Structure 1
Amino acid sequence: MAIKAVIFDLGGVIFTLGEQGYRREVARRLGLGDALPAAYEEALPALQRGELAEDDLWERLSGRRVPLDAFDDAWEAHFRVNPEMLALAAELRDRGLKTAILSNTQASHVAIMRRMGVLAPFDPVLMSCEVGCRKPEPAIFRLALERLGLPAEQVAFVDDVPEFVAAARSLGIHGIRHTGDVAATRAALLALVGE
């Protein structure tokens, strides 16, 4: 059965993955040296589920309140749009497929991407911090299927993280690992479209 929709991850797929550079910059600005402490990694699931406010986390780590947009420029410097992947998504829409976004992220990053307009052509857009669950939790994949109105076998999921691709596959979704080779990802998707 041919797929009718493709769900894309953001960091490492639609955007270059600049997580480490971003974290270094945030740590420096918070006065924490060149790396965020282990407490950041421990808090990340709650932050990405929207259970923890960013300004509370920054205060917990640095001892001071930080404006929510304090690191916007650092994020924009380290996460760049991949125009080839946006073109691939547009090509799929031209072929009649739905395209969606599913990302583990936090509120300030969502605000930046919405301002950029990158998310506008995708529907639905599921951001972990807005829906209260995150990859690889099955609930977020089920929510994506529900919002698409499609069964798992008619949907493909593109992500750069093997664990997340495996989680999608475990639910019957066609998982494709994006390794940075847009041509390979395009070929894998078109094979599922039936072309």
Structure 2
Amino acid sequence: MSNRKYSAIVFDLGQVLIPFDYKIFIDAANKHQQGLGENFVKKYNENYSVHRDFERGKISEKDFIAQMLDWLEHKITEDEFVRYWSGIFSLNKDVISLLPKLKKHYKLYLLSNTNSIHQKYGYQHYEFLKLFDKLFLSHEVGFVKPEEGIYRAVENYSKLSSEEHIFIDDIAEYVEAAKQLGWDGIQFTGYDNLITELNARDILFL
């Protein structure tokens, strides 16, 4: 039995609720020129600060896309880039099925390192997002995990103590950062493990 009182369950988005696979993007780019996708990803990873600044909302969509098209050697159009780059998502239906059950007992928040392109073209149409009381998206908040500011944005909105929040994320570093602020946290490794962790804390999802 857990002695801790949970009031807010905070979910990460990517790889928890919506798995993504950049190989889909690579394969699409390679149809325009062999190796184009792999070369792009290499440049992207070598200049990861661009990705992070776009997630923080510090780079405009226009400037970001222009940089991406440069790295793609202008072999694909802007529309093609947006479509390919946002077509990498699928649904984790097992985890999503927990949301309406959890919502009966707790506040639900979404906390994601993401960007405006993926939001608009990749996932904003998913109905399950309406189950959350609020979405905290890095490009709107101005911070990225594991920076303190993004977690505090949730607390500032929820008006709950740090200890009443629990965070579910696939990246251990981001879970640990939440714990350092007084939250509880679960590293997501799969549906079955998540159920085990929720049960261990007496979190209700019926």
Structure 1 residues 135 and 68: alpha-carbon distance in aligned structure 2, compared to 1, 3 A threshold: farther
Give the number of aligned pairs. Answer: 191
Q: Structure 1: any 5+ residue segments left out of the alignment?
A: none
1:47 aligns with 2:54: yes
Match of 2:201 in 1: 192
Aligned partner of residue 129 in structure 2, secondary structure: coil
**2:8–2:106 CA contact under 8 A, matched in 1:** yes
Return the alpha-carbon distance in structure 1 between the equivalents of residues 84 and 54 of structure 2: 20
Residue from 99, 102, 112 that aligns with 1:103: 112
* Percentage of matched positions with identical amino acids: 26
Aligned partner of residue 120 in structure 1, secondary structure: helix
Structure 1 residues 102 and 12: alpha-carbon distance in aligned structure 2, compared to 1, 3 A threshold: same
Residue from 162, 165, 170 that aligns with 1:152: 162
Match of 2:78 in 1: 67
Highest Rg: 1 or 2? 2
TM-score normalised by the chain length of structure 1: 0.85
1:28 aligns with 2:53: no
Per-residue CA deviations over 1:33-72 (Å, capped at 9, x if unaligned) read 4242144423111011111233133134235484367333
Q: Structure 2: any 5+ residue segments left out of the alignment?
A: none
Structure 1 residue 164 displacement after superposition: 0.5
**1:101–1:122 CA contact under 8 A, matched in 2:** yes
Per-residue CA deviations over 1:149-177 (Å, capped at 9, x if unaligned) read 21110010000001101111110110100
**2:55–2:114 CA contact under 8 A, matched in 1:** yes
Query: CA-atom RMSD, angstroms?
Result: 2.4
Residue correspondence of structure 1 range 1-195 to structure 2 within 5 A:
1-18=4-21, 20-25=22-27, 28=30, 32-35=36-39, 36=41, 37=43, 38-52=45-59, 53=61, 54-62=64-72, 64=74, 66-67=77-78, 70-73=81-84, 75-76=86-87, 78-94=88-104, 96-111=105-120, 112-180=122-190, 182-193=191-202
**2:55–2:144 CA contact under 8 A, matched in 1:** yes
Structure 1 residue 87 displacement after superposition: 1.2
**1:145–1:151 CA contact under 8 A, matched in 2:** yes
TM-score normalised by the chain length of structure 2: 0.81
